[in-house]
Chain A
Amino acid sequence: MHKRLLAVLAYVGAALSLIVAACTPFVLMGAFSEAVARTGVHVDAVYSGGTIARTVMRDGYQIDVYRPVQPHALQNVDPFVQIAFRPAASLPRRLNTELDLDGDGRPDVRVSLVMPRNPRARPSGEVVALSEAYRSFRMPESEVGFSELIAQSNGAVLVRIPVNQPSAGR
């Protein structure tokens, strides 16, 4: 009796797995994908830059200032703040601006950018720290890394400024 019940359950399971297979392209794949997206998982801020703290509007373009990103556990990345100039196509060929990164009303860095003629090329430029909390660097002289870079991505110019003190910008 027990063996028979087990066999019946096994065939019911096999039939269910066939139904799952038939539903996969039409319902299940999409449902599972939505469920994954709904869990609230997000791409690590070291790649995405994190969340925008505030936006500064300028003539023809905007500057998004992101919240400082702190590395997790043994992550081999220095803390940084990302700023994004967008749209990249509207930026002047040479740009010089002072920015308040921590929202205290005083400028923290001066960013100078030279936009390349080739929209796929990496812009050059310089970040000069006006506050001890941030580190100066110049591209292309400095080594590009996730916490120190000037790059074009998705129609924006991204600048990542290394943070000296973990508490900066809090």
Chain B
Amino acid sequence: MASAAIPHPKRRPPPFRTVGRSVLLTLPIALWALLMFTPTLRSPGLNHHIGAAAAVLFMTLLFFLMMRTGKTYRWRRYFFVTLGFLFPVGFIASLIHLRGSMSISLEHMLGGDTPFCHMVIPMILIPAALTRTVIFPGSILPTATNPHSVAVMIGLWLALTLVLGKAWCSYACFFGGIEEGFAALPKHIRIRKIDPRLRLVPWALLIAVAVLSAALFEPVYCMWLCPFKAVTEFPAVTGVKTAIQMGIFVALFVGLVVVLPFLTKKRTQCGFFCPFGAFQSLFNKINLFEIRFDRTKCADCTLCQTACPTMALSAESIREGKTLLNCMKCGACVDSCKKHAAVWHLKGTPVAVKPERARLLFLYGAWALATMLGGSIIANSLATILGFLPIR
């Protein structure tokens, strides 16, 4: 009888919550998802109905699993990787539909047809503040050929940043999921030693591209350094300069988004390159949610450091019970901590007293916005893919 009480080593741990409680906690997100996709579900078009229904189910199911298991990163990653891989599909399809090509020509730039993305924001701030000029060949207000205008995208970014802060990089960025997907593929880490000074590269790049863009009056990062141009849109190759640009985009994409994430199991582009990520880190200062470490429970096992996809933890920061400024609140450290020392925290409240409450307060806002933005991208991209299939 006594042996029956000893837990079997291979037995699964008990679920974090009961099914009933998990369903109840998921209900607001399910209703929100339905609300977000009601216009699509009402509009004609079977492909769009299927895409929207799949997005509603997907986002709701993942949230339910977060509630049921208490794990955040594990389920968020399914959403994020799906978003990362579906975004280029929908985006490229819309480019081909609107202008017949993935490449952007001089004519499209003159017509203000370049879609604006969040990565440009740090580069346009100084010229916009000094001269009211946006150094980007897009349009301020949406047009028939460019719905992703400057004002729309900045409005979206501002609203989401108020809620998410740096968590934008794990719940809203439609690029980060690509490398997270490649980082998730291998079972073992092949390159373990990464110089921690590489964490400073995004800051150096941020300063460099902001100053250079203001001086040269052109979005330097978009023109020369953006790895995601390789899978979204790129300047039409018309000469040596544009060929070099294209070569850089492809090399950076292959190196930072495919190969290095595969070898290191880290988001190398986000952690060691992206200037927008560095810029977004500044908003962690004003965001209310963070990850903290309960020093009374921490065993200094460094499992959290290994799990962190952007090296936002150091031995010193863990000793101080904090993450570094570039923490994007993905929850990998919390999921990996066997001692439950890594916890979600609401600034101003005692550390590790009610971490699940802090997690829920954060997740409701983050998942609602992830459903709104990422969910609609997933729905649209699915509808696009279905449009290519020979089914009606």
Chain A residues close to B by CB (< 8 Å)? 3, 6-7, 9-11, 13-15, 17-18, 20-22, 24-25, 28-37, 39-49, 71-76, 120, 122, 143-144, 146, 149, 151-154, 158
Give chain A's interface secondary structure class: helix
A41 x B215 contact (CB < 8 A):
no
Closest B-chain residue to A122, C-beta based? B107
Closest B-chain residue to A39, C-beta based? B132
14 contacts between A and B (CB under 8 A): A6-B349, A10-B288, A10-B348, A11-B346, A11-B349, A14-B358, A17-B163, A29-B156, A36-B140, A36-B151, A37-B151, A43-B138, A45-B133, A122-B107
Assuming the contacts A32-B158, A151-B106, asked whether A41 and B139 have C-beta atoms less than 8 A apart, the reply is: no
A47 x B110 contact (CB < 8 A):
yes
Is B235 close to A, CB under 8 A?
A: no
B134 x A42 contact (CB < 8 A):
yes
Contacts of A143 in B (CB 8 A): 239
Contacts of B361 in A (CB 8 A): 14-15, 17-18
Give the residues from 92 to 130 in chain B that come closer than 8 angstroms, CB to CB, to chain A: 100, 106-112, 127-128
Assuming the contacts A71-B217, A154-B111, asked whether A43 and B137 have C-beta atoms less than 8 A apart, the reply is: yes
Partner of B107, one of A7, A24, A153: A153
Assuming the contacts A25-B36, A74-B215, asked whether A34 and B151 have C-beta atoms less than 8 A apart, the reply is: yes
A75 x B139 contact (CB < 8 A):
no
Is B364 close to A, CB under 8 A?
A: yes
Contacts of A48 in B (CB 8 A): 110, 112
Is B136 close to A, CB under 8 A?
A: yes
B217 x A32 contact (CB < 8 A):
no
Is B214 close to A, CB under 8 A?
A: yes
Complex CA gap A48/B133 in Å reads 11
Sort chain B's interface into a size bin. Answer: 35 or more
Closest B-chain residue to A149, C-beta based? B106
A37 x B141 contact (CB < 8 A):
yes
Give the residues from 354 to 381 in chain B that come closer than 8 angstroms, CB to CB, to chain A: 358, 361-362, 364-366, 368-369, 372
Assuming the contacts A21-B365, A36-B154, A153-B110, asked whether A43 and B134 have C-beta atoms less than 8 A apart, the reply is: yes
Q: A14-B361, A25-B36, A28-B162 are in contact. List 6 more A-B contacts (CB 8 A).
A: A14-B346, A21-B369, A24-B163, A34-B151, A42-B133, A43-B140
A10 x B365 contact (CB < 8 A):
no
A10 x B107 contact (CB < 8 A):
no
A115 to chain B, nearest CB (A): 15
A33 x B368 contact (CB < 8 A):
no
Contacts of A122 in B (CB 8 A): 107
Is B270 close to A, CB under 8 A?
A: no
A116 to chain B, nearest CB (A): 13
Contacts of A75 in B (CB 8 A): 216-218
Assuming the contacts A21-B369, A41-B140, asked whether A33 and B348 have C-beta atoms less than 8 A apart, the reply is: no
Closest A-chain residue to B128, C-beta based? A41
Contacts of A15 in B (CB 8 A): 361
Contacts of B134 in A (CB 8 A): 41-44
B180 to chain A, nearest CB (A): 23
Complex CA gap A71/B112 in Å reads 19
A61 to chain B, nearest CB (A): 18
Partner of A144, one of B36, B106, B133: B106
